[in-house]
């Protein structure tokens, strides 16, 4: 009797041992689709580069429909003018911007026009399930200052490719492939006819549930590395390192991103002696209060801004 009882237990045990092993085995034919090549630094950019501004900003978005909305935006404040001198030149400007958005699962149209005639237009159209066409343009009334770009994206099972055409004879192509469920590698090549430049770049991205690490190298001399760690549901920390081996320019920055119930606070500190913070506080449903601060101790440039965003 005792021997029979002793013989029964071993049989379920081998099944239990095999199950976790099967889950760990990587199915190389079923890898997830990687994120697009231009968004490879997405998490680091979201945390470290919020839309800092100086002055007063007021945005009102009116939704007329599930898909269609109009937006009105007023901005008053100093705008930086690029100058050769070390001192930054700021010119006080005020402008009103009218925008219209149309959002469909297959077609997205986004247009913004300013009082000085500048148009910022974006379009994304899904031609088929896997092929999509994106176009964006910044048009001005000044001659030779307008830019336009068209992208064709093809999404495969575990890869993505993109072909770009821009004005000024700009051609670019990029390809990114998932190599393991966590790692994806990609490369890009571009040729700019007007500036007589061409380049090739490589990128790699490793992510799991808790962290994202990316690296990018380009033949223009740029090396960019970033690391984002999701410490908890509400807190994530990010760091970024950019090195240009042609111009010997190095920038390192470290930042945090707190996503709380009523607000989102992002802060960062730079190796150029620049600290910045950006707060979006939700006062009510559809009403957001924004505070932005950027202090550059080295250049003695202090920027503070506040704003209100109404609408979804």
Partner 1 sequence: MNSKNLLEVTPKAHLLGLRFMVNRYKVSKVSGRSEASEERSTVKCLKDWSTWTMKKAKVITHYGFIPLVIIIGVNSEPKPTLSQLLTPF
Please choose, out of 17-25, 111-119, 184-192, 246-254, the segment that lies near partner 1 by the rule CB under 8 A.
Answer: 111-119
**Considering just the CA atoms, what is the radius of gyration of the chain in Å?**
25
Nearer to partner 1, 68 or 243 (CB): 68
- Taking CB under 8 A as the rule, does residue 60 contact partner 1? yes
- Least CB distance to partner 1 at residue 102 (A): 5
Q: Could you tell me the CA-to-CA distances from 230 to 3, 109, 180, 226, 259 in Å, in that order? A: 53, 33, 21, 13, 11
- Taking CB under 8 A as the rule, does residue 62 contact partner 1? yes
Question: Residue 162 corresponds to which tokens in the numbers above?
Answer: 């993109």
Please choose, out of 85-93, 94-102, 222-230, 266-274, the segment that lies near partner 1 by the rule CB under 8 A.
Answer: 94-102
Identify which of 288, 304, 286 has the alpha carbon closest to the alpha carbon of residue 296.
304
- Taking CB under 8 A as the rule, does residue 167 contact partner 1? yes
Name the phi and psi angles at 104, rounded to 5.
Answer: -130, 155
- Taking CB under 8 A as the rule, does residue 139 contact partner 1? yes
CA distance 234 to 47: 13
Please choose, out of 34-42, 69-77, 88-96, 183-191, the segment that lies near partner 1 by the rule CB under 8 A.
Answer: 69-77
- Least CB distance to partner 1 at residue 282 (A): 20
Nearer to partner 1, 62 or 297 (CB): 62
Among 61, 93, 146, 220, binds partner 1 (CB under 8 A): 146
- Taking CB under 8 A as the rule, does residue 68 contact partner 1? yes
Task: Give me the sign of the Cα torsion angle 40, 198, 217, 227.
Answer: negative
CA distance 264 to 278: 8
- Taking CB under 8 A as the rule, does residue 114 contact partner 1? no
CA distance 82 to 96: 22
Contact 89, 80 (CB under 8 A): yes
Nearer to partner 1, 22 or 64 (CB): 64
Q: What is the DSSP letter of 185?
A: E
CA distance 59 to 133: 29
- Least CB distance to partner 1 at residue 140 (A): 9
Nearer to partner 1, 100 or 295 (CB): 100
Identify which of 33, 51, 49, 46 has the alpha carbon closest to the alpha carbon of residue 205.
33
Among 67, 95, 182, 230, binds partner 1 (CB under 8 A): 67
- Taking CB under 8 A as the rule, does residue 119 contact partner 1? yes
Nearer to partner 1, 70 or 218 (CB): 70
Judging by DSSP bridges, how do beta strands 55-63 and 301-310 pair with one another? parallel
Please choose, out of 103-111, 196-204, 244-252, 260-268, the segment that lies near partner 1 by the rule CB under 8 A.
Answer: 103-111
Please choose, out of 12-20, 28-36, 68-76, 186-194, the segment that lies near partner 1 by the rule CB under 8 A.
Answer: 68-76
CA distance 130 to 182: 22
91: Cβ contacts below 8 Å, ≥ 6 apart: 78, 79, 81
Q: Where are the alpha helices (H) located in the chain, listed in sequence order?
A: 2-7, 12-24, 42-48
Which residues of the chain form contacts with partner 1 (CB under 8 A)? 60, 62, 64-65, 67-70, 72, 98, 100-102, 104, 109-111, 113, 117, 119, 121, 137, 139, 146, 148, 167
């Amino acid at each position: 009797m005792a021997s029979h009882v002793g013989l029964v237990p071993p049989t379920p045990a081998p099944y239990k041992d095999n199950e976790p092993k099967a889950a760990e085995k990587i199915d190389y034919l079923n890898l997830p689709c990687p994120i697009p090549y231009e968004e490879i630094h997405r998490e680091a950019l979201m945390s470290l580069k919020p839309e800092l501004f100086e002055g007063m900003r007021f945005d009102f978005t009116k939704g007329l429909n599930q898909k269609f909305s109009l937006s009105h935006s007023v901005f008053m404040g100093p705008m930086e003018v690029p100058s050769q001198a070390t001192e930054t030149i700021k010119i006080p400007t005020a402008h009103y911007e009218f925008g219209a958005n149309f959002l469909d699962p297959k077609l997205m149209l986004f247009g913004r026009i300013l009082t000085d005639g500048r148009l910022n237009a974006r379009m994304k159209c899904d031609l088929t399930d896997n092929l999509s066409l994106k176009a964006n343009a910044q048009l001005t009334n000044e001659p030779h200052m307008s830019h336009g770009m068209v992208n064709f994206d093809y999404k495969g099972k575990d890869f993505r490719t993109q072909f770009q055409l821009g004005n000024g004879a700009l051609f670019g192509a990029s390809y990114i492939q998932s190599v393991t469920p966590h790692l994806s590698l990609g490369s890009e090549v571009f040729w700019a006819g007007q500036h007589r430049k061409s380049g090739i770049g490589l990128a790699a991205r490793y992510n799991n549930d808790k962290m994202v690490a990316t690296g990018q190298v380009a033949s223009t001399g740029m090396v960019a590395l970033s690391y984002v760690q999701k410490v908890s549901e509400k807190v994530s920390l990010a760091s970024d390192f950019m090195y240009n081996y042609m111009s010997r320019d190095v920038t390192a920055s470290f930042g945090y991103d707190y996503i709380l119930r009523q607000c989102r606070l992002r802060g960062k500190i730079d190796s150029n002696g620049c600290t910045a913070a950006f707060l979006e506080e939700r006062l009510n449903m559809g009403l957001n209060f924004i505070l932005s601060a950027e202090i550059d101790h080295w250049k003695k440039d202090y920027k503070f801004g506040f704003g209100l965003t109404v609408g979804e």
